[in-house]
Chain A
Amino acid sequence: MKNALSQITRILLQTVLVLSLMATAHAAVPGITGTTFNLTAQDGYLNQPDGEAIYSWGYGCSVAPAGFAPAALVSVSVCPTMQVPGPTLIVHENDTVTINLVNQLPTAAGNTSILFPGFQVTASGGVVGLLTHEAAPGQTVTYTFTASQPGTHPYYSGTQGDLQIEMGLYGAVVVIPATIPGNCTTGYHSAIAAAKAHWGEADFRLAAAAYDHPGSCYDREYLFQWAEMDSRIHRQAQAQVAAKVGCTAGTMGCSLNVQTEPYHPAYFIINGRSMPDLMDPNYASEYPHQPYNADPHTHPGDLLLLRTIGQGRWQHPFHEHANHVRILARDANLELSSSTTPVSYTTPGGTAVSGPGLAGLLMFNTDTTPGESFDGIFYYTGRGLNWDPYGHHPVSSSNDPLATLPCIPDVNGYNSAATTAVNFFEWCQDHNKPVEVNPFGDVGAGGPVTLPDPDVVTNGQWYGGTPYLGPDASLRAKMPTCVGSPNGTPNPTTPSGGAGTPPVNTANCTTLNPANTQLNPANERGWAFMWHSHNEREITTNNVFPGGMLMMLLVDSREFVIDETL
């Protein structure tokens, strides 16, 4: 008994140690960790925003996994017995990975299996199928491989793929690189870590680099798995499964005959969800079988790693508003220059590490191709706008100290030394440059543009009410509210001017209240950018716009704490 107790204590201590290590070692895109994964294939229902619950098949955990990642998400993480996409398997480079798959699909669905493209897989158990070993109904099959290559990899059914993948049998493997180049934890990246720490923002990364390459550093990451569903196929499978309940595996007639052509999808999904459901939290209870969301956020200056997989039948031109994406790798193969002259990767104050130059495309439309993954880096800084997104003004008439923050450019032109400032990573060349000719709140005069009469435009749900970024700038820049009749009749107060300072023209008041409290609340006031399929009919759900493959990237000013658990 005593022995047993001390053993339990020791295990608990080890667990605590492991957990604390995970907390400092940065965890990942939501998923499960370990080297042995006990998966099951089962059926279930996927919720769609039109109210449909679509009969589907998915992989899940047959027993609780060894762990979850990232650490900052562990408190909310679960692994159901069926989910679409399947659990994201997070492993380390050179790990020996074992997957035990038990086939708990309805008997009539027949055999199932998993393929791991890009790995040398040893399969055992089950029965030999066309592409790999398969698990007959109730059987278990085992796959073993060495995680030889860091990056993002798909996995999906190797049995009757036209039906089983359509039904939802797919997922991702993320391999964390063995070594992190020194430039990825110094310079800008340590400054960004300091800024996060200052505002109390957790680190949701798997690692500081996607590959063992100094050009693959990143500061936050997201995984997007693109697919589409033709609900007719799902209904047909559901009806046939129901008609054949209790049939004996392998006997005549105990199989499905679902027509997978002609293919006419009406649901276009990212991580199993459609817009707007995909903006709900990871592991939200409304989607018991769709735990992963697609709700990217970033701060100016952060390098954002996009891990993307095409899991459906169709190509989708994934259009990222706001900037280009550098393709690092396709199917986890780094795309590198043929030149023998290396590139020195370094940011101010950081370590320089040399490596072959990246040669991947720079794209604003990153095609997702069935069965193919890509990793890409995106960032947003506002460089070159030619106006100050924070609305800084050397003389603040509202006595707001944030209006008069300095911007000290580093060698690349960014305010990267001020890690605790709201305007950390501001592009300094445009500092203090106004966007508008006439005064607009506290934001100064002289810019080229005359902003529109707010009465002749319609505000969007993510529009913060002003052109500016962040809660402070938006509030400060808001036009004075009209008192009395509309259209510029006088307001009773005149902000302090005094001799030598110009008065504020309160006649430019507005009757509009643009504040949106739900999608871009007053403490956020981020800049929203649509990330979506540019085959635009795919941003619909069953013929209704908006929906489908559409998400919003929020670029948030530094004071807004991005919490991926929410």
Chain B
Amino acid sequence: MTSRKLEITCILLLVFCVAALPAAAQSFRAQCPPSTITHPGDNNAEPAYNGPTQFTRPTTGTQQWVVPTSGTVNGAIKCQQVSGGDGYMTEADGTQTFMFSFGPLSGLADIASGNTGAEFPSVFNTPYPGTLVRGDPATTDGAVTGASPGVGVGAGTAFTWNGAVGIAPDVIQTLAVSDVAEGAIPAPGTAPHCPAPTATTVTAYTFEPAGIPVGAQVTIANSPASAAPAPAGFLGTFTVTCADSNVISPGGFSQYAFQYTDSTTGLGSSTSLEGTTASTPPAIDGHVDPRPIMDIGVMNGNIPGPLLAFDEDDEVFLTLTNVGMIMRPDLFEQHTFHFHGYPNASSFYDGVPDASVAIDIGASFTYYYMAPDAGTYFYHCHITPPEHLQMGMVNQLYVRPRQDRVPAGQSLYTSLGYQNGISEPTTNPVVDLRTACSPGADILCSATMPAGGATANTATRAVPGSLCSNPAVNVGAVVDAAGNGVAPDYVYNDGDGSTCYEVTYPIQEHGFDPNFHFVGMTFNPEMFVDMKDKYFLLNGRSYPDTVGQCGGSVISGCAPGPQATVSSDGTMHYSQPLPAIINIPAGGRASLRLVNLSVAEYFTLQTLGIPMHVVGWNAKLLRDQAGTNTEYWTNSINIGGGESDDVILDASDNGCGSPGCAAKLYPAGSVFYLYEPDLDRLSNDAENFGGMMTEVHICSSVTGGNTFGNSCK
């Protein structure tokens, strides 16, 4: 009897201890609210841009912030989860290089096929239906040891899930209820700081903080064997209307209380209840199971880290989960994300550990951003930057303009006027100042109205299956995976169509110093002064890995897949998901989103044959305050560490004269090159061939979409 009582006490204590930990004590989590005050309603698709978002602001009550008017809301919600840890990649000379690096913990299938891992809430919040295994998606795909890029996808089952790793329904939280009272609170009980109870208001008292927010569902139940149950009228599932702490229960104890409204009256009060519980239903609310996070996240480093692309007007929830660096158990390295170039950033979400918080091993932190102006940015770790950037914690990021969401055939100039407050449609009459650019008052905006007014700027939103170049002088097409025509898009809100492209490719220039990486893997002091890059990388690969087995000539249907590396855990991991091959439909234009993340070198990229049209610099449209485009033509471009620019490789054959002219400069089937003209960098360490180079393929059509993962026909 005594032992049994002790056992019960222990169990009760255990329950108490576990329940006393508030939700915040869980250190891994993945936030992705399906709706917010800025984006109420369904956020699982991008609405068309038909004018600025309209707002109203309540002038009474506790919620005097602007709320958008239904039907005018622009943008949606995107979420991504990324692991911070370590891993290995494969250099083009076969060397395996140790990295500190980021890896995907959401959108695994999309990342592996060369796309962004930023997902809508409905995708992100979908738990994996089975059990993830170490190395996924490479393991399920059947990637094999030593495979070259593209051969990595083997005989396994194609991995298609894009949810957040670890996401799981939150456990049912159960609390013991000691007292319940309907209506007035009998002495010595005190009323919580809540609206005065009505005849059907139930006040329930607990010994622990309920942790149930107002508005949440709570289920009140009795255990079947209870000797002192609550009367049946109190039982059922209700909505919490108020919660408070430090109140006295009718039984005379200092306790927590919450309230709900039931359906019957005259229940009175009951004290000293036994076996009566309040429980919350299971929900997908950011709770994760840490096991799959560690299974997938450890040794899962990618170079570049997971691509993040989203649309202007989106709200973005970017979760960084620090899984630790298993190869360096001596280090207790924190990690952060710095969204490089984010305008008017808050220091809290700027990712500089000195100015904010850094994420410890075993913890997650969700960065929150309202999408900034369209353009090419990147994000990287800001802990000891000379070390963590050289070691590989560098990811790509770009923002698509709202001009992409303008309905087909509509005037680009008029649509730019909507966001700049030049003239508004009758359905959306008030300008959204957040999107406006007024050069005489704001020295830092670039999306001014193009010179010449509406008469000089007649470009309309391109339609699916068309080309930017009008009339087309050389005819290709881009089709999606289903075979449907893909409309050209734009790099910026230009209002004149000058930044139109058919295909877009984020290209990261980087350099690895094998010496430094060896030092980083072992336990030696690091020398920054002597840092010298020996591997010169485009998207984490040197030539010929940049083009995989699709190089040398146009091979119909060939698509370089993710490059896999067998890690020190003996498992294949996709280490370099992005190729760097540039497929352009004949007559088309490719937007290259160039960034340099080397910590030591300026790099130049040069083209042979196809001219570069530089349309953006540091995530801003090249346009002066008077509306004149300051874009320029070149065949080479030099950028330093931390810089980005937007280049359009223009293979539209506009130079050849009339439509259908015989002498096409860039006919389907031809191959051009993009390389670093400092020829010392066309090497892979001791190998005097390779380095920072990739191929540009002109295709009769491009299938599988307008970015990496597509293939040339």
Contact = CB atoms under 8 A, between A and B. Distances in A.
B506 interface: no
Nearest to B347: A527
Given A377-B444, A429-B66, A463-B347, 20 more contacts: A323-B344, A324-B620, A343-B626, A359-B625, A364-B618, A385-B344, A385-B370, A437-B33, A452-B357, A453-B24, A457-B357, A460-B352, A490-B245, A490-B246, A493-B246, A494-B246, A497-B194, A502-B214, A536-B390, A545-B387
B365 A452 contact: yes
Contacts of B214: 502
Given A385-B346, A449-B366, A363 B628 contact: no
Interface of A: 215, 264-266, 303, 315-317, 319, 321-324, 326, 336-339, 341-347, 352, 356-359, 361-365, 367, 377, 379-389, 393-395, 409, 411-413, 427, 429-435, 437-438, 444, 446-450, 452-463, 467, 469, 487-494, 496-503, 505-508, 527-530, 534-540, 542-543, 545-546, 552, 555
A530 B451 contact: no
A501 B630 CA distance: 57
Contact of B440 (A344, A506, A538): A344
B65 A432 contact: yes
A379 B444 contact: yes
A528 B355 contact: yes
Contacts of A215: 443, 625
B195 A500 contact: yes
Nearest to A432: B65
A435 B529 CA distance: 42
A552 B347 CA distance: 11
A502 B244 CA distance: 9
A377 B347 contact: no
Nearest to A350: B441
Contact of A384 (B65, B193, B244, B370): B370
Given A384-B372, A449-B366, A324 B343 contact: yes
Given A448-B38, A449-B31, A534 B641 contact: yes
Contacts of A527: 346-348, 355
7 contacts: A344-B440, A357-B439, A358-B624, A387-B346, A453-B363, A457-B358, A458-B360
Contact of B345 (A356, A453, A508, A529): A529
B529 A265 contact: yes
A51 B221 CA distance: 70
A365 B642 contact: yes
Contact of A433 (B37, B211, B625): B37
A539 B385 contact: yes
Contacts of A493: 246
Contacts of A455: 25
A315 B602 contact: yes
B359 interface: yes
A394 B64 contact: yes
A552 B355 contact: yes
Interface in B357-379: 357-360, 362-366, 368, 370, 372
A380 B343 CA distance: 8
B676 to A, nearest CB: 17
Contacts of A542: 529
Contacts of B340: 319, 364
Contact of B433 (A364, A409, A458): A409
A5 to B, nearest CB: 54
Residue of A265, A393, A460, A462 with most chain B CB atoms under a 10 A cut-off = A460
B113 to A, nearest CB: 29
A444 B64 CA distance: 10
A460 B618 contact: no
Interface string B190-201: 001111100000
Main secondary structure on chain B at its contact with chain A? loop
A326 B66 contact: no
B555 interface: no
Contacts of B363: 452-453, 456-457
A491 B617 contact: no
Contacts of B330: none
B527 interface: yes
B697 to A, nearest CB: 31
B27 interface: yes
Nearest to B37: A446
Contact size range, B: 35 or more
Contact of B643 (A317, A381, A460): A317
Given A321-B352, A339-B628, A448-B315, A456 B359 contact: yes
A343 B625 CA distance: 7
B633 interface: no
Residue of A357, A380, A412 with most chain B CB atoms under a 10 A cut-off = A357
Contacts of B386: 536-540, 545
A365 B643 contact: yes
B710 interface: no
A397 to B, nearest CB: 10
Contacts of A264: 529
B434 interface: yes
Contacts of B527: 543
Interface string B375-405: 0000000101111011000000000000000
B231 interface: no
B341 interface: yes
Contact of B192 (A345, A503, A507): A503
A505 B245 contact: yes
Residue of B38, B386, B620, B625 with most chain A CB atoms under a 10 A cut-off = B625
B286 A491 contact: no
Given A339-B624, A364-B618, A502 B242 contact: yes
B360 A359 contact: no
Contact of A324 (B346, B438, B444, B600): B444
A537 B527 CA distance: 9
B626 A453 contact: no
A459 B345 contact: no
A130 B214 CA distance: 81
Interface in B424-463: 433-434, 438-444, 446, 451
Interface string B16-45: 000011101111010101001110000000
A431 B59 CA distance: 12
A291 to B, nearest CB: 26
B354 A528 contact: yes
Contacts of B433: 409, 412-413, 429
A337 to B, nearest CB: 4
A229 to B, nearest CB: 12
| Those 4 A-B pairs whose CB atoms lie nearest each other, nearest first | A534-B642, A357-B625, A497-B193, A357-B626
Contacts of B256: 490, 507
Contacts of A490: 209, 245-246, 254, 256
A502 B357 CA distance: 30
Contacts of B345: 321-323, 385, 529
A459 B334 CA distance: 11
Contacts of B352: 321, 460, 528-530
A362 B444 contact: yes
B75 to A, nearest CB: 11
B61 interface: yes
Interface in B633-673: 640-643
A186 B599 CA distance: 43
Contacts of B529: 264-266, 537, 540, 542-543
Residue of B26, B347, B350, B601 with most chain A CB atoms under a 10 A cut-off = B347
B389 A382 contact: no
A386 B344 CA distance: 11
B273 to A, nearest CB: 21
Contact of B31 (A446, A450, A555): A450
B524 interface: no
B154 interface: no
Contacts of B440: 343-346, 352
Nearest to B59: A394
Nearest to B257: A503
B357 A458 contact: yes
A367 B638 CA distance: 11
